[in-house]
Amino acid sequence: MDEYKHIKKQDPEVFAAIEGEEKREAEGLELIPSENYVSKAVREANSSILTNKYSEGYPGKRYYGGQKYTDMVETLAIERAKKLFDAKYANVQTLGGANANIAMYFALLNPGDTVLGMDLSHGGHLTHGHPVTYLTKIFNFVRYKMKDPDTGEIDYDEMRETALKTKPKIVLAGFSAYPRELNYAKFVEIAREVGAYAVMDVAHIAGLIAGRSVKNPFDAGFDIMTTTTHKTLRGPRGGMILTRESEEIAKKIDKMVFPGLQGGPHMNNIAAKAVAFGEALQPAFRTYAAQILKNAKAMAEVFKAHDIRLLTGGTDNHLILADVFGSLQITGKDAETLLDAVGITLNKNSIADDTRGPMDPSGIRFGTPAITTRKFKEKECARVAELMVVAMQKRAEPNVQKAIREEIREMCSRFPIPESHV
């Protein structure tokens, strides 16, 4: 904790929280699919002196002086992002994935225009048109769903009929809790038929795309990709918008991000993005991305062997969604609390057409990006899945829970969080 020596001296209360979080992460396993462990290099960039600098505008076109080094790091981030995702344009200033989606909507749409996106209960994201978001007061969102939650097949025929009927300006692919790969060609085909933009929110699978472990939507003709820069991409918390080839679209997006919706970019965060993108360009990142998939499949097989229902029947990516209430008579909320107590962090999650509420749903969502960063392979991931099942099956037995907690601590000591990813 020497890196926090100044905080320790100046503000013991904040230091105590940081120290506690460091201990929690070191002694427990992170299975939330949207979380990961960044390298020390990324953390150093994120806490760098660049936090002092206001840099409104874009490289070479700033409103303030003194931009030599901010231009340098933002240009590096842009060029590395373009190379990672085979994009012609990249905006790296958005503060998060939600911000990226909001900027994309306002750049491409007028109030009242329609967006066709995935239903939240079938795997979509809040910013894809859930009624609780303010976006739904501005734009009209219509939704598509899975044809069969047990296979994960999207009802593309119904999606097409909805598109023909509602004439969306954006056909939006992407998800936050969908374990399968989408048929990108179908999305593009439907978008072209109704004259819509084809947009993919790759926040969850950006690292898998960059690591060439899953398909790149741009190869199928998508116009835009929005994303976070953390999760599987293993960078700092932030967002990004990528444009495949249209300069007109890219200019609209840049103008909407700044000055449309945001002020000065967080240059320390952009520097951290550049470092993370540099890591993702290394050969080792492709090995990492491939292992994420292997590990997720290993965990899914254990759950299936115990007859625990998995939404979509398994996984093609980094995450798994399990119906624990239907299979083990434990709610998602109780499972989250129980597993957290034994050192396994995941999140409660609604399942398709869930009869329970979102704060106490039927499912749990978990994944393998973070434990793969800790160098877990299939054997270790299968063991973690076994411990999860036993913990839920024998939740009334304190001695069992204690033994699981001890085993998790032992695994964490054998697989510490690495300081470097290259």
Catalytic residue among 237, 244, 297, 333: 237
Catalytic residue among 94, 226, 228, 372: 228
Taking the CB of residue 275, how many other CB atoms lie within 10 A of it? 27
The whole-angstrom distance between residue 149's C-alpha and the CA centroid of its chain comes to 21
Catalytic residue among 54, 294, 354, 383: 54
Catalytic residue among 19, 25, 56, 71: 56
CA distance 203 to 411: 29
120 in a labelled binding site: yes
Residue holding tokens 């890219």? Answer: 250
247 in a labelled binding site: yes
Q: Specify whether 136 is catalytic.
A: no
CA distance 254 to 247: 10
3-state secondary structure 319-356: EEEEEHHHHHCCCHHHHHHHHHHCCEECEEECCCCCCC
Question: If DSSP codes are grouped into helix, strand and coil, which group holds residue 198?
Answer: strand
126 in a labelled binding site: yes
CA distance 82 to 213: 18
Q: Which residues contact 132 (CB under 8 A, 6 or more apart)?
A: 126
Q: Specify whether 231 is catalytic.
A: yes
Please name the helix (run of DSSP H) or strand (run of DSSP E) that holds residue 172, with its range, or none: strand 170-174
The whole-angstrom distance between residue 236's C-alpha and the CA centroid of its chain comes to 12
Catalytic residue among 62, 145, 231, 405: 231
Catalytic residue among 30, 74, 119, 201: 201
CA distance 333 to 227: 28
CA distance 264 to 135: 23
Q: Specify whether 160 is catalytic.
A: no
Residue holding tokens 């909320």? Answer: 333
Q: Specify whether 228 is catalytic.
A: yes
User: Which sequence positions are flagged as catalytic?
Assistant: 54, 56, 201, 228, 231, 237
Q: Which residues are annotated as a binding site for (6S)-5,6,7,8-tetrahydrofolate?
A: 120, 124-126, 247
Q: Which residues are annotated as a binding site?
A: 120, 124-126, 247
